Homo-oligomer: A and B are copies of this chain.
Amino acid sequence: MSAKRKKLRSDLAWSTTDRIVVRGHDLVDELIGKVSLGDIAFLELKGRLPTRKESAVFNAISVTLVEHGMTPSAIAARLTYFGAPESLQAAVAAGLLGMGNRFGGSVEEAARTLQEAIEVSGPKASLRGLARQIVVTYKNMKQPIAGLGHPVHKPVDPRTAKLFAVADANGFSGKYVKLMQLISDEAGRSYGKKLPVNATGAIGAIASELEIPWQVCRGLAVMARAIGLVAHIQEELQEPLAGEIWNRVEAESSEHQRSS
Q: Chain A: residues with CB nearer than 8 A to chain B?
A: 1-2, 5-23, 27-28, 31-33, 35-41, 44-45, 55-56, 59-60, 62-64, 66-76, 79-80, 82-94, 96-105, 108, 152-154, 156, 158-159, 162-163, 165-166, 213, 215-216, 218-220, 222-224, 226-235, 237, 239, 241-254, 256-258
Contacts and interface: CB of A to CB of B under 8 A. Distances in A.
Contacts of A27: 64, 158-159
Q: Which 7 A-B pairs have the closest CB atoms?
A: A84-B100, A83-B98, A37-B38, A226-B226, A219-B230, A14-B254, A44-B231
Instruction: Say what secondary structure dominates the interface of chain A.
Output: helix
Contact of A90 (B75, B87, B156): B87
A98 B72 contact: no
A216 B55 CA distance: 28
A236 to B, nearest CB: 9
Given A241-B253, A244-B5, A235 B32 contact: no
A44 B226 contact: no
A227 to B, nearest CB: 5
A201 to B, nearest CB: 15
A75 B81 CA distance: 13
B32 A64 contact: yes
A253 B89 contact: no
Nearest to A237: B215
Contact of A94 (B7, B63, B76, B254): B76
A180 B2 CA distance: 34
Contacts of A69: 10, 12-15, 250, 254
Contact of A10 (B18, B82, B253): B253
A257 B100 contact: no
12 contacts: A11-B239, A12-B232, A13-B70, A35-B63, A75-B249, A76-B76, A79-B98, A83-B100, A87-B100, A93-B96, A216-B230, A223-B230
A247 to B, nearest CB: 6
